[in-house]
Structure 1
Amino acid sequence: MLFNLIAVVLAALSTFVVGFIWYNPKVFGTIWMQESGMTEEKAKKGNMLKIFGLTFIYSLLIAFVVPSIVIHQVGVLQAAGGNMEDEAYKAFMMVHGEMFRSFKHGALHGLICGITFVLPIIAINGLFEQKSWKYMLVTGGYWVVSLTIMGAIICGWK
């Protein structure tokens, strides 16, 4: 199976687990609060239902795209126009089958995506917003780790 909805939902939820650990005051939470200008008082005033609800929706949108990044067979199917009866797709699957469908391989592609795509986006925004490098590295690092885990879950869970 090329697309596993349960894996996609779990990958989206994994961003909460990573965030809970990453932004803990004993890890990077204190640095992030200091560098972003966030205070505990301001954080308590936020609408948590809105924040966590939209975070889940946005994480789900990201997770829906991750299979096309971490699963080679999805790319081949896309090249075949989505037609599983296409001869080129069938030939690829006969030779390669489930090759590279592992947690390790998905983690590698998630890591590469985080470093080469998401981290530069966060850095560009941070430069224009005149944020510190600490802020950019903490925020970018969160997404690099999250995408690594998302890639592992989505590619490895067949």
Structure 2
Amino acid sequence: MAVGVPELKIERVRQNYLANLVAAIACFLLEAGWYSAFMDTWINGIGRNRQWLENTGINPAIQYGTALVMASIMATAISCVTQLTGKQTALRGIKVGALLWAGFELTTLATEYIFEVRPISLFLVNAGYWFFGMTLMGAIVGGWKKKV
């Protein structure tokens, strides 16, 4: 080994697919409750009405399936970062979820919303959901250790 060159330690990430799926489902259920609670604010924020929402012609199974698959991918990413940054705990998972939210979701949404001149109320609904969703997924994937 060369002098002054740090040794590279390769960490092994072990995915707990059941924990990732449970985290994704929990996030999905949170989403259903969140957007039900903030439906009027959300629908007004996107400049639509309930009638439009009911008559989009989009198959709800595609919408819900997409939401669940994307939450699964996000749970897997949160799990990876949680494991790569230290001991796998629920608190670390929450911190990783919050950090990834602040670094990627919050910044992306804020940039989009300011250029699209969207209402702050819509920003708060969408960003708030992702904050709680990502920290919830972090708690689950961080706290649920796979039995060896």
Does the CA-based 8 Å contact 1:66-1:150 persist in structure 2?
yes
Deviations 1:19-65, CA, capped at 9 Å, x for gaps: 122112xx322111111123211221232011111111222222221
Does the CA-based 8 Å contact 1:119-1:141 persist in structure 2?
no
SS at match of 1:37: coil
| Aligned twin of 1:120 | 107
Partner of residue 133 from structure 1, selected from 103, 120, 133: 120
- Provide structure 2 residue ranges, at least 5 long, that are not aligned to the other structure: 1-12
| Aligned twin of 2:48 | 38
Cα distance in structure 1, aligned partners of 2:105 and 2:28: 18
Deviations 1:95-120, CA, capped at 9 Å, x for gaps: xxxx7322222112212221232111
Q: Deviation of residue 6 (structure 1)? A: 0.3
Instruction: Report the count of equivalent residues.
Output: 131
The TM-score, its normalising length taken from structure 1, stands at 0.75
SS at match of 1:71: helix
Provide runs of 4+ in structure 1 moved above 3 Å: none
- Provide structure 1 residue ranges, at least 5 long, that are not aligned to the other structure: 76-98
2:35 matched to 1:23? yes
